[in-house]
Structure 1
């Protein structure tokens, strides 16, 4: 075909057939617009996926190059880079821990913890009363469930503060023995006698001795009260109010009454085992840590408490005899506090109930004193801070005119006299005391 020539045109008939065929093909293809859309969608996502893979591949290549570069470095430079990275990691970790600690101690978190503790304490008291009246056989189960929650939480908190040596005290030792009797050895008369006497003796009297307080919003005080009051409550229920108790606790079959001498010897023997372990593990094996102040025990705490009777008494004893005097005094105290349980409480449900009401009343009284005294002192400090603020404001405005000072309101002296000066309310002469203003203060946190 010569250059520049054009091909011959097809005949008209063939051209028309081709036109019709193309139109039919276009109509058939127009039915697959959805497929085209799907194809376009997947094409775009495949493209994005390819970009991500390429980016990831570039990152791996960069890391590989850095790795090979580090391998080419000398040993000293490699160690320097490692130390720098490790220090940066420690700094980031320390910053993160500081931030978490600050968040945990923030006012909002503290208020939430106190609300949870308040709810838990109030509901525990309510359910305990309901179970005692409706199903006494559930009391020992509630005792165990609460222990499984409160005791590990106390260990965590005390361990964090380096107070965990307090957990070797007699009350926790007796609590473990109580659980062993309830769930593993319910047919042991000797263990039941020891648990009953120690729970109604040293543990119950500790509510008075250690001033346990019923402060619902304070989880630590709730735990202490649980340890000391729920044990005698549980064993009182088992002894006097548990229906068919001999079937669940066969030890009671052999103990219709207590033999005083035998009961005191059994509980005293269990106590001496604890005392020996306490002396060996803490006062001998951990003496260096305790003397250095790294750890605190009940003995060191009471010895440093110069305001208490026990602290003053121990201070008057020569240092070489203080530990022996402390352990001997504890033994005498344990025996004396068990006497009411041995001679009176075991045979009388009425006196047992009165005893529980007595120690619970002491905790309620101590809790009321805590709220009044702590929040009262907090209000006094806030009131004093407000007085100082008004005094500073008055001093800064001392250059103002008498008319301006009169329009600004009362001065510090006038405000200071508000605590006892009478005012007119509704036509009657009344007085305002600081306690009447206490509902306006923020009492969500104690001091």
Structure 2
């Protein structure tokens, strides 16, 4: 049985809008309007890819807000530093301006560096989104194209399977090698896919190989969609690849057995197999499975045992035990030294393939059931995982806007008519000379709590 780890692998953007949304933006956002105006053009355009971009843009907006807040903090720290330097002194305007310009230059350098980093991250996010869109396109087109081939030219289904296999297997090796997950490639599903390739293009006249490929493709490989929770998530190339490896083999051999015109001419092995003998099928499948299992045991649990035990490499057994699920919970009840044996025994399963072999109806129903499970799992990913993640980001944005509004209201003092209307930095406030009265004090309209407190201290000193 194959181990295909699921990686729960990614909001409304307006390029010309300012960094901060207006207060109450989310409360008046057109989500309610989308419900009311179901026939509007905007509601019809709100597709799945728009949701993906909305999710990412909300995160970018949060980053921009954090940068803006850091910018204000740096400016305030610069002013406090100047106050500490010139406390108790009366610097000349030229010295004051020079020091202030120096602090502003430092602030601009930090802000520009931060913005450059943000721009690089944005470009990287664009690349990621483009890759997901490409994966979504090819995933949907592969499904549609396979359905068209099945209906119009079933004799080419095995060619489509081969072409996609020659691309997706090297891609899977490359991506898993970078993650140090390449021990997953020793699992049964990849072994069966290679056997299928050998039968289709090297040994199509071998009845024994055909029986083994047919039984294992409809057994351990197809049932892995259920046990390993494969999901039809089109924008995730890894999930699409996992689903292809488990669904396309039984689909291909079902087409060859029941819907391929003149199949016995292209695959001479079918001439000797008008019917499938259950015990012979079980024996041949068991022999192939035993050969793979011995090779797997020697390669993973003997030759590379230290790497597996040290955690440098991840295997199917380790993954399924540490992943919530029925199989993992059952295996965790056994002793650690016995888990590998029970895991190997539990991987081999052969459904009543003699029923599928003789019935096109039940073969189609079986494939439809397997695909329906993957569609259900994919819907759960989009709604439960992705939807809740997007909801958490929106909730965080709402809280930030509420805190910013509350902070702004607390930090804006009510000005008397006699007070000046133009804000003045506390750095420029000087004490009056001895004997003079301060008849026209200037109090700035502060934008933050810290600035208001410093202004109040300046007034007390005057």
Output the TM-score relative to the length of structure 2.
Answer: 0.62
Say whether 1:350 aligns with 2:361. Answer: yes
CA distance in 2 between counterparts of 1:370 and 1:287 reads: 34
**Residue 104 (structure 1) shift:** 11
Offset from partner CA, 1:343-392 (integer Å, 9 cap, x none): x1000001111111111111111111111112321222122212221232
SS of the aligned residue for 1:397 comes to: helix
Indicate the residue corresponding to 1:328 in structure 2: 345
Offset from partner CA, 1:307-353 (integer Å, 9 cap, x none): 3222222222122222222212223xx2xxx23223x1000001111
Unpaired runs of at least 5, structure 2 = 1-116, 415-462
Indicate the residue corresponding to 1:375 in structure 2: 386
CA distance in 2 between counterparts of 1:320 and 1:129 reads: 46
Indicate the residue corresponding to 2:434 in structure 1: none
Indicate the residue corresponding to 2:333 in structure 1: 316
Contact preservation (8 Å) 1:104, 1:110: no
Unpaired runs of at least 5, structure 1 = 1-98, 403-447
Equivalent position to 1:277, from 284, 289, 295: 295
Indicate the residue corresponding to 1:395 in structure 2: 407
SS of the aligned residue for 1:106 comes to: helix
* Structure possessing the higher radius of gyration over alpha carbons: 1
Contact preservation (8 Å) 1:206, 1:228: yes
**Change beyond 3 A, Cα 1:392–1:291:** same
Contact preservation (8 Å) 2:220, 2:347: no
Which structure is higher in helix share?
A: 1
Contact preservation (8 Å) 2:218, 2:351: no
Contact preservation (8 Å) 2:231, 2:243: yes
Offset from partner CA, 1:213-249 (integer Å, 9 cap, x none): 1111110011001000000000000000000000000
Q: How many residues align?
A: 296
Equivalent position to 1:364, from 364, 375, 379: 375
Query: What's the C-alpha RMSD, in Å, of the aligned pairs?
Result: 2.0
CA distance in 1 between counterparts of 2:287 and 2:149 reads: 34
Indicate the residue corresponding to 1:208 in structure 2: 226
**Residue 399 (structure 1) shift:** 4.3
Offset from partner CA, 1:58-96 (integer Å, 9 cap, x none): xxxxxxxxxxxxxxxxxxxxxxxxxxxxxxxxxxxxxxx
Runs (4 or more) in structure 1 with deviation over 6 Å come to 102-105
**Change beyond 3 A, Cα 1:207–1:227:** same
Indicate the residue corresponding to 1:339 in structure 2: 351
Offset from partner CA, 1:138-164 (integer Å, 9 cap, x none): 000000000011110010000011000
Say whether 1:175 aligns with 2:217. Answer: no
Say whether 1:144 aligns with 2:158. Answer: no
Structure of higher RCO (CA pairs closer than 8 Å, 6+ residues apart):
2
CA distance in 2 between counterparts of 1:103 and 1:188 reads: 54
CA distance in 2 between counterparts of 1:231 and 1:313 reads: 29
The equivalences for 1:64-213 within 5 A come to 106-213=124-231
CA distance in 2 between counterparts of 1:136 and 1:104 reads: 45
SS of the aligned residue for 1:311 comes to: helix
**Change beyond 3 A, Cα 1:153–1:397:** same
SS of the aligned residue for 1:398 comes to: helix
Output the TM-score relative to the length of structure 1.
Answer: 0.64
Offset from partner CA, 1:188-228 (integer Å, 9 cap, x none): 00000000000001111111111111111110011001000
Offset from partner CA, 1:245-281 (integer Å, 9 cap, x none): 0000000000000000010010011001101000000
Say whether 1:291 aligns with 2:309. Answer: yes
The equivalences for 1:225-240 within 5 A come to 225-240=243-258
CA distance in 1 between counterparts of 2:309 and 2:261 reads: 51
Say whether 1:386 aligns with 2:397. Answer: yes
